[in-house]
């Protein structure tokens, strides 16, 4: 079981759902993963819902900004990368051709973050930790296990992220299709694959489950939908699903890193 109190810079460290219905989302993910909500009050009647599993924070469910909802942006899972200096990494990202969606800003005493769109169009977040140290549990059922980029140009994406974070990126051994494996500080840190239209360039989050068939049945019972799978990739079985509000994520049942 992968308990964490921090991450190496350049590592995916946190996942956050932006949705238009926090209450319904909390019920869905509690039913699927057994998450327990720890709601943190914000201004007005807003709150940030930390999701706890096995006593550790594993993800969050937040209200999607009104401007995104007004623009027709569907609910989505956001991926955060741990950095030592969000401002410095942001400037480097701009130099490598990225667009700044939100300049670095403080999140109370939790940390400092920024929102970036990479040159191929995918969004991701930088997280400079203070009080909030990212996920306390990864690589376990009910926790984040993988982050996968769908890109219109995997080689260009590999160059961008390799330059930005120092990732080591190469073809995943034993796979016939084009799939680039990411390693950061000697550890697995996700993958990059070709874009499959109509999916936009984006980072897909994978959460662990014990049994893929049972998990897919539970998704259906809770009002979600299966988009792909189950697919046997030898070391695991995977599937891509959507919650009842339309946020897309993936399930992984199989071998896990420590």
pTM for the full predicted model: 0.94
Q: How far apart are CA 68 and CA 72, in angstroms?
A: 6
Does residue 175 carry a pLDDT above 80?
no
**pLDDT at residue 72 is higher than 80:** no
* End-to-end CA gap in the chain: 6
Residues 137-254: name the CATH superfamily. 2,3-Dihydroxybiphenyl 1,2-Dioxygenase, domain 1 (3.10.180.10)
Residue 64 is predicted with a pLDDT of 84
The Cα 247–Cα 253 span in angstroms is: 20
Q: What percent of the chain has pLDDT over 70?
A: 100
Q: What is the mean pLDDT of residues 158-166?
A: 97
Which of the given ranges, 36-45, 170-179, 211-220, has the highest pLDDT on average? 211-220
Burial class of residue 44, CB neighbours in 10 A (0-12, 13-18, 19+): exposed
pLDDT of residue 1: 55
Do the domains 137-254 and 2-129 match in fold? yes
pLDDT at 51: 97
Instruction: State the pLDDT at residue 235.
Output: 82
Average pLDDT, stretch 189-199? Answer: 91
Domain ranges of the chain: 2-129, 137-254
Task: Specify the CATH number of the domain 2-129.
Answer: 3.10.180.10
Residue 122's pLDDT is: 96
121: exposed, middle or buried (Cβ count in 10 Å: 0-12, 13-18, 19+)? middle
pLDDT at 41: 86
How much is the average pLDDT of 169-186?
Answer: 87
In contact, 48 and 62? CB cutoff 8 Å: yes
Q: What is residue 255's predicted lDDT score, i.e. its pLDDT?
A: 77
Residue 8 has pLDDT above 80, yes or no: yes
Residue 71 has pLDDT above 80, yes or no: no
Q: Check pLDDT > 80 for residue 104.
A: yes
Is the pLDDT reported for residue 222 higher than 60?
yes
User: What local confidence, expressed as pLDDT, does residue 183 receive?
Assistant: 95
User: Minimum mean pLDDT among 84-88, 175-179, 189-193: which range?
Assistant: 175-179
């Amino acid at each position: 079981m992968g308990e964490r109190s921090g991450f190496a810079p350049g590592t995916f460290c946190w996942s956050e759902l932006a949705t238009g219905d926090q209450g319904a989302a909390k019920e869905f993910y509690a039913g699927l993963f057994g998450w327990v909500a720890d709601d943190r009050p914000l201004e007005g009647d807003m709150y940030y819902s930390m999701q706890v599993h096995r006593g550790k924070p594993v993800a969050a469910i937040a209200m999607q900004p009104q401007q995104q909802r007004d623009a027709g942006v569907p609910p989505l899972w956001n991926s955060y990368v741990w950095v030592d200096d969000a401002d410095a990494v942001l400037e480097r990202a701009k130099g490598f051709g990225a667009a700044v969606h939100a300049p670095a800003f403080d999140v109370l005493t939790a940390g400092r973050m920024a929102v970036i769109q990479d040159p191929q169009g995918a969004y991701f977040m930088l997280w400079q930790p203070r009080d909030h140290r990212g996920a306390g549990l990864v690589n376990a059922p009910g926790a984040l296990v993988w982050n996968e980029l769908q890109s219109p140009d995997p080689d260009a994406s590999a160059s961008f992220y390799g330059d930005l974070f120092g990732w080591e990126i190469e073809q995943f051994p034993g796979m016939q299709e084009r799939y680039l494996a990411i390693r950061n500080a000697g550890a697995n840190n996700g993958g990059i694959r070709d874009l499959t239209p109509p999916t936009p360039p984006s980072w897909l989050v994978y959460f662990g489950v014990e049994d893929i068939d049972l998990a897919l049945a539970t998704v259906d019972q809770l009002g979600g939908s299966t988009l792909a799978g189950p697919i046997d990739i030898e070391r695991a079985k995977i599937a891509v699903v959507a919650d009842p509000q339309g946020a897309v994520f993936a399930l992984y049942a199989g071998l896990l890193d420590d």
